[in-house]
Structure 1
Amino acid sequence: MTNNQSSSGVVTPLPGTNNAQAARGFVRSVNDWLMECALDDTDISELLSGMASRLVASGIPIDRVMVAFKTLHPLYEGVSYIWTKENGQVVRTTHMGDDEKDRDWAESPMKWMLDSDVSFMRRHLIGPSAVVDFPILETFRRQRGTDYYALMTPFVTDSDSTLNSNRIFMTYLTRRPSGFSDEDLAILSGIQRRFAVSCKMRINHEETRTILETYLGTDAGQRVRNGQIKLGDSTKTRAVIWFSDMRNSTSVATHVGDDAFLGEMNDFFGATAGAVLKHGGQVLRYIGDATLAIFPIDEDETNLETACYAALYAAAEAQLNIDALNARREEVGKLPFDYGLGMHVGEVIYGNVGVSERVDFTVVGQAANEAARIEQLTKQLGRRVLVSSTVARFISCPTEEMGAYELQGTGVSLKLFAPDFSEACHRIELMRSA
């Protein structure tokens, strides 16, 4: 039985595309739509869903389509999008990219195509010409798949980078008894490059956003993408300001050595700055082993309580994280981490500083300086966390008044309070165990 025949030996025609001229016209119309999507920077999920819908409407017998590619992201290496005819939905999945851990990738047709530098592959899954030489193909056959077609399109993301090469993988599966016809395959191949161009536009967009948000933070990255890149571009922002610092960094560095200290710092930031991000704060920058972050209040002053509440739970989460981390460090003979945290409320200038050719997007202003000076007093007063009176008023947990202190170099005297995070820590532990 040939690939375009049913069990009765009759060729299965495609409605509306049962001749070469109609097929060429259909390919042109889909390619025109794909170029519009590229210009509109259409999301890949929407792009895949729209293309699949057009293929199905034209009579192409697709039951599953997958798009996959590498991406530049600190948490994962690859992304796949899978559309299925059964539910008409697109599911996005991220992949770590470790061949030893990701067995599905290591044993996939795509990995073989990449290693063999093969741009397309076709496998009949039933009948005398069936070749089921990858585990995923056996899975597809059990799911009543009859024919599998895979395409690989290479492209350049950044010619100036050592990571300039990438590839779009497309795989198609059908359950039609006769499989894909030659006309089907010609149509799928005919739209592949334009689809890859549309994907490339979106991949570049996503990677740019990832890089900016990774190095600048979510809000700062968004502002830079929106054009706030000139020296002096700024916005005044009212926020709860967080300034935390590792207390015993010199001792830790001496104990583990310079080569290992970077990993130690990352563990510390994971416990402290990670708590900020988890509770909706924005990490603006790392200053040595210190973290400057904010919980924005926005224009509505009623959001002050919400921002303080988020900062409270971030501080409680950081305390739990550090205590758990120290317990593990003690087991392997490492020095415990300690830290100080100062929190304050005020208006800061959120924008670009530096020189025209090299700017830094950060927060500056009197309130940020005061938060840093509050943190400096934590060691003197023997408390991990100190907050100003405004924060103490809204964090909804018991506080101990520590007295009024002049903040070094600011000419400002503030009443400081030491929060009791016991209740917040208890609630977080309950949520973790739920």
Structure 2
Amino acid sequence: MPTPLAPPADLDDLPGWIARHATEVADGGALLEALGLALNAAGLPVSRLSIGAPSIDPAHRGITAVWRRGRGVALTATAHGPEGQAEFDRSPIAALKAEGHARGRWNLEAGEGCNRFRSMAEARAEGGTDYLMHLIRFPPGLAIAGAGLSHVTDRPGGFAEADVARIERHLPAFGLAVLRLCLSKTLNGLLGAYLGPRAAGRVMSGQIRRGQGELMSAAILLVDLKGFTAAADREDPHRLVGWLDEHLDALGLGVEPCGGEILKFTGDGFIAVFPVRDGSALPCGVCGRALEAARTGLAHNRLLAERRRVAGEPALAADLALHYGDVVYGNVGTANRLDFTAIGRAVNEASRIETLCDATGRHILMSDSFARRCGAGLIDLGTFPLRGVAARQRLWTVPEA
């Protein structure tokens, strides 16, 4: 639950207070709660406030924050897809947009809007008498086109016109604050989605110059789907992308829970790293968790592939390689186009190891440096030549691979 911010003593100071705090906090829920407390402290009995805004996020299309007097703030996300679109279409925000209005008001005591909008039925059930909504428009050219702010009172008879005027005085400042918070959340969310949370944090902390990087020890997981190129020659491209996403979901299912991070998608696979802070600790818990992530991914991909076979669709198997070594974690690229990733000999060697999956008939291969850190229960496959590596390398696997 967001930490409440102390509201201003005088409601006339509210717009300036909102503007000041919008530059200091990143918690929209705290700002919404402070607004509700300030309005009530000024004698305007607001029982419920809500702010709904679209988002640029691969997981959901929009976020709604609802503050209820005495109950704090609750956040809900609206998913992408037909269900999420249908939920939005049934909202008062969608209704006002369709009608070309910037403001709407419903008499809850008379039941207005309650059969049409779930939020109004809920507000009335909580004792609400009047529902006031304003649309706040953002600058053109943004996918985040605006937001909807609603005020509900439980005072008999609803809002007086003077109350509405007082509410509307703070709308421009609050809209600016919401825009700032939306852009901040979008920036952090998109960086996390495209770079991963650790890399995004480093970029946001200012590590944006080419050549900036950190040398670290890590377990490396390299994943590659088999047969994807051949399937791409036969199948509809849009369907193929959907199948690829499902396979990558399955293969990456264990990475984050096991402490790793996917750094780069390689078209039909990915590279993940599991940072090792104490390289002297044996057995290495990080390497053990990286192996667990690989086994989890392989098991889920096999289940998905079997469902594909039953449906008469291409079933894509996967090869996985695990290695341990030092990598440089940082920026690489051209002067104006960078990638935040892990590079180094260990990454290249992991790629070479993965190419031996077909020759060994195994879907999980581990280098000797990785296997020696994992403990017992592994199968020694012998030594193999790796392209670009002078000495033959001992490889290991697990029974189910």
Matched residue of 1:275: which SS? coil
2:37 pairs with 35, 53, 56, which one? 53
Q: Residue 304 of structure 2 aligns to which amino acid in structure 1?
A: L
1:82 pairs with 36, 57, 66, which one? 66
Q: CA deviation at 1:369?
A: 1.0
1:233 pairs with 212, 218, 225, which one? 212
Q: CA deviation at 1:99?
A: 5.9
1:94 pairs with 61, 72, 77, which one? 77
Q: CA deviation at 1:207?
A: 0.8
- Structure 1 gaps of 5+ residues are 1-23, 423-434
Matched residue of 1:356: which SS? coil
Q: Residue 273 of structure 1 aligns to which amino acid in structure 2?
A: G
Q: CA deviation at 1:202?
A: 1.2
Q: CA deviation at 1:133?
A: 6.0
Matched residue of 2:10: which SS? helix
Matched residue of 1:263: which SS? helix
Mark the CA change 1:412 to 1:116 in structure 2 (over 3 Å): closer, same or farther: farther
Q: Residue 248 of structure 1 aligns to which amino acid in structure 2?
A: G
2:84, 2:200 → 1: CA distance? 32
Which residue matches 1:321? 300
1:149 pairs with 132, 146, 152, which one? 132
Q: Normalising by structure 2, report the TM-score.
A: 0.90
2:137, 2:282 → 1: CA distance? 48
Mark the CA change 1:383 to 1:30 in structure 2 (over 3 Å): closer, same or farther: same
1:214, 1:155 → 2: CA distance? 24
Q: Residue 14 of structure 2 aligns to which amino acid in structure 1?
A: V
Mark the CA change 1:301 to 1:135 in structure 2 (over 3 Å): closer, same or farther: same
Does residue 394 of structure 2 align to residue 391 of structure 1?
A: no
2:130, 2:193 → 1: CA distance? 41
1:34, 1:100 → 2: CA distance? 34
Describe the superposition over 1:105-147 as per-residue Cα deviations: whole angstroms up to 9, x where unpaired.
32222111111121111122225x9675633333432332211
2:101, 2:261 → 1: CA distance? 45
2:281, 2:73 → 1: CA distance? 39
Which residue matches 1:11? none
Indicate if the aligned counterparts of 1:297 and 1:304 stay in contact, CA closer than 8 A.
Answer: no
Indicate if the aligned counterparts of 1:78 and 1:94 stay in contact, CA closer than 8 A.
Answer: yes
Indicate if the aligned counterparts of 2:384 and 2:392 stay in contact, CA closer than 8 A.
Answer: yes
Indicate if the aligned counterparts of 1:119 and 1:151 stay in contact, CA closer than 8 A.
Answer: yes
1:144, 1:37 → 2: CA distance? 31
Percent of pairs with identical residues: 26
Describe the superposition over 1:247-267 as per-residue Cα deviations: whole angstroms up to 9, x where unpaired.
222332234244533233222
Indicate if the aligned counterparts of 2:298 and 2:318 stay in contact, CA closer than 8 A.
Answer: no
2:185 pairs with 206, 211, 218, which one? 206
Q: Which stretch shows the higher mean deviation, 196-205 or 211-220?
A: 211-220
Mark the CA change 1:415 to 1:110 in structure 2 (over 3 Å): closer, same or farther: same
Does residue 331 of structure 2 align to residue 349 of structure 1?
A: no
Q: Residue 117 of structure 2 aligns to which amino acid in structure 1?
A: P
2:77, 2:365 → 1: CA distance? 40
1:358 pairs with 297, 317, 337, which one? 337
Indicate if the aligned counterparts of 1:154 and 1:165 stay in contact, CA closer than 8 A.
Answer: no
Q: CA deviation at 1:421?
A: 5.5
Which residue matches 1:64? 48
Q: Normalising by structure 1, report the TM-score.
A: 0.84
Describe the superposition over 1:2-39 as per-residue Cα deviations: whole angstroms up to 9, x where unpaired.
xxxxxxxxxxxxxxxxxxxxxx9934321122111222
Describe the superposition over 1:251-293 as per-residue Cα deviations: whole angstroms up to 9, x where unpaired.
3223424453323322221221343234332111122313111
Which residue matches 1:135? 117
Equivalent residues in 2 for 1:193-342, closer than 5 Å: 193-298=172-277, 302=281, 305-342=284-321
Q: CA deviation at 1:394?
A: 4.2
1:70, 1:303 → 2: CA distance? 48
- Structure 2 gaps of 5+ residues are 1-7
Matched residue of 1:360: which SS? strand
Indicate if the aligned counterparts of 1:236 and 1:349 stay in contact, CA closer than 8 A.
Answer: yes
Mark the CA change 1:397 to 1:179 in structure 2 (over 3 Å): closer, same or farther: farther
Which residue matches 2:360? 381
1:386, 1:218 → 2: CA distance? 27
Q: Tell me how large the CA RMSD over aligned residues is.
A: 2.5
Find the structure with the greater CA-based Rg: 1
Matched residue of 1:346: which SS? strand
Matched residue of 1:407: which SS? coil
Q: CA deviation at 1:92?
A: 0.9
Which residue matches 1:428? none
2:356, 2:10 → 1: CA distance? 71
Q: CA deviation at 1:404?
A: 2.3
Q: CA deviation at 1:176?
A: 1.6
Q: CA deviation at 1:102?
A: 5.0
Describe the superposition over 1:80-112 as per-residue Cα deviations: whole angstroms up to 9, x where unpaired.
00111132x211111025565554432222111
Matched residue of 2:123: which SS? helix
Q: CA deviation at 1:386?
A: 0.9
Equivalent residues in 2 for 1:26-41, closer than 5 Å: 26-41=10-25
Describe the superposition over 1:192-226 as per-residue Cα deviations: whole angstroms up to 9, x where unpaired.
11111111111111111122122212111221222
1:265, 1:320 → 2: CA distance? 16
Aligned residues: 393
Indicate if the aligned counterparts of 1:280 and 1:295 stay in contact, CA closer than 8 A.
Answer: yes
Q: CA deviation at 1:153?
A: 0.6
